[in-house]
């Protein structure tokens, strides 16, 4: 039986900005583009969320919902530095850490560097150490697997801690929406609703053969996860499957010359990113969003690695020309490379270091009855 902790920083980008400028704590704060432009909300603080603002919403809509909100441009370099401080805390507890983004990660603490049997106790200590290191709060979920730990971390935000012990799983899952199941997107959820499957309790009533018939090979996954079975291990080395860049333009582009110029800039950025990450790939994908919001992608796989900006431009320019000239104006262009060679690089590099030095011992204020799980 594994003991998994999911750590999720609370409104991370916004919290960092509030730390840097405490005056923002009392105001609705949106991290994203300018409301008069085409930017989207990266995150919002909890005050702004009461107005219905959420991530991936257009900044223009966020402004309509809350005209008095403060809009701040993301500072990714700063967030990355704070993320490193948070990850260093996690490394002092376990080597089995799987980062999901700058602000969240899984830890397997079944065996941990403190020799502490209670994962709940460890999660409490981790949260405390994150506050010491960053000045920010995190929410934590403790459970026997990744699926349940991630759900638990979201249950009592902000600054929450929820434990789902093994004996609680069956009751916990009964009323949980099927939309919480990994792999159930909006389309699949609508299909499940059409089959009278609304909760995981409803999903448990379906046989594996029925789910396989209705949902193909993912039916077996739904059958297992409905019973709280998730055998996915925490993977310390999550390998990127693709590297890409994209740009939403301030105004729609129709002129081929302008499109070529923007595509060239994107290819230069992509080449630099590939070099920084030390990876190469063989599948090249062009992403286009037109001004009517229709989206298309075009891909090409070649046998040789290409990483120079000029070579990348030739590939993506060909894909762009294949769209034809009778198309609406373009609001977004993106270029990416997949089928990367990073697995080969990872095998050569071996394991990772444990990171920062380990602080041993548990604080006296935590010397109280904790769940054994």
pLDDT digits (tens, 9 = 90+) for 9-58: 999 999 999 999 999 999 999 998 888 877 778 899 999 999 999 988 88
Write down the domain spans for the chain.
Answer: 4-11+77-169, 14-76, 173-225, 242-346
The pTM for the full model equals: 0.72
Catalytic residues: 104
Phi, psi of 309 (to 5 degrees): -55, -40
- d(CA 4, CA 104) in angstroms, rounded, equals 13
State which fold the 14-76 domain adopts: MutS, DNA mismatch repair protein, domain I (3.40.1170)
State which fold the 242-346 domain adopts: Dna Ligase; domain 1 (3.30.1490)
- d(CA 246, CA 263) in angstroms, rounded, equals 10
Domains 4-11+77-169 and 173-225 share a fold: no
Q: Looking at domain 4-11+77-169, which CATH architecture does it have?
A: 2-Layer Sandwich (3.30)
Q: Which residues contact 324 (CB under 8 A, 6 or more apart)?
A: none
A 10 A CB-CB count for 186 gives 8
Each of the 373 residues of the chain gets a pLDDT tens digit; together they read: 899 999 999 999 999 999 999 999 999 999 988 888 777 788 999 999 999 999 888 889 999 999 999 999 888 889 989 999 999 999 999 999 999 888 999 999 999 999 999 999 999 999 999 999 999 999 999 999 999 999 999 999 999 999 999 999 999 999 999 998 888 888 899 999 999 999 999 999 999 999 999 999 899 999 999 999 999 999 997 667 889 999 988 889 988 888 999 999 999 999 888 887 777 888 999 999 999 889 999 999 987 778 888 889 999 999 999 888 788 999 999 999 998 876 444 444 444 333 333 444 444 444 444 556 7
Q: What is the CATH number of domain 173-225?
A: 1.10.150.20
pLDDT digits (tens, 9 = 90+) for 342-364: 644 444 444 433 333 344 444 44
Q: Which residues contact 97 (CB under 8 A, 6 or more apart)?
A: 87, 90, 91, 105, 106, 107, 234, 236
- Which H helix or E strand runs over 253? strand 242-253
């Amino acid at each position: 039986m594994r003991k998994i902790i999911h750590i999720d920083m609370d409104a991370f980008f916004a919290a960092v900005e509030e730390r840097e400028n405490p005056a923002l704590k009392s105001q609705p704060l949106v991290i994203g583009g300018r409301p008069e432009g085409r930017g989207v909300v990266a995150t919002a603080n909890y005050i702004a969320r009461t107005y219905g603002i959420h991530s991936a919403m257009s900044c223009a809509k966020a402004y309509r919902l809350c005209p008095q909100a403060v809009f701040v441009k993301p500072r990714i370099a700063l967030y990355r530095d704070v993320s490193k401080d948070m990850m260093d805390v996690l490394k002092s507890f376990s080597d089995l850490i799987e980062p999901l983004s700058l602000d969240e990660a899984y830890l397997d603490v079944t065996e941990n560097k403190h020799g502490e049997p209670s994962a709940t106790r460890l999660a409490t200590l981790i949260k405390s150490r994150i506050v010491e290191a960053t000045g920010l709060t995190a929410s934590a979920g403790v459970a026997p697997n990744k699926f349940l730990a991630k759900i638990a971390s979201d249950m009592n935000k902000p600054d929450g801690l929820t434990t789902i012990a093994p004996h609680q799983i069956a009751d916990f899952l009964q009323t949980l929406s099927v939309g919480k199941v990994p792999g159930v997107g909006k389309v699949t959820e609508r299909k499940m609703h059409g089959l009278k499957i609304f909760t995981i309790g409803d999903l448990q009533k379906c046989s594996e053969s029925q789910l396989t018939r209705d949902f193909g090979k993912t039916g077996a996954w739904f059958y297992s996860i409905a019973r709280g079975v998730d055998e996915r291990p925490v993977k310390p080395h999550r390998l990127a499957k693709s590297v890409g860049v994209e740009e939403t333009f301030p105004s729609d582009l129709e002129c081929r010359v302008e499109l070529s110029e923007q595509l060239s800039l994107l290819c230069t950025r992509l080449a630099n990113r590939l070099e920084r990450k030390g990876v190469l790939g063989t599948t090249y994908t062009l992403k286009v969003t037109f001004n009517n919001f229709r989206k298309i992608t075009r891909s090409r796989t070649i046998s040789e690695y290409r990483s120079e900006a000029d070579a990348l431009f030739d590939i993506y320019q060909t894909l762009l020309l294949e769209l034809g000239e009778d198309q609406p104006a373009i609001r977004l262009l993106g270029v990416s490379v997949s089928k990367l060679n990073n697995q080969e690089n990872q095998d050569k590099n071996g394991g990772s270091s444990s990171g920062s030095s380990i602080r041993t011992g548990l604080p006296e204020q935590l010397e109280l009855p904790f769940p054994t799980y």
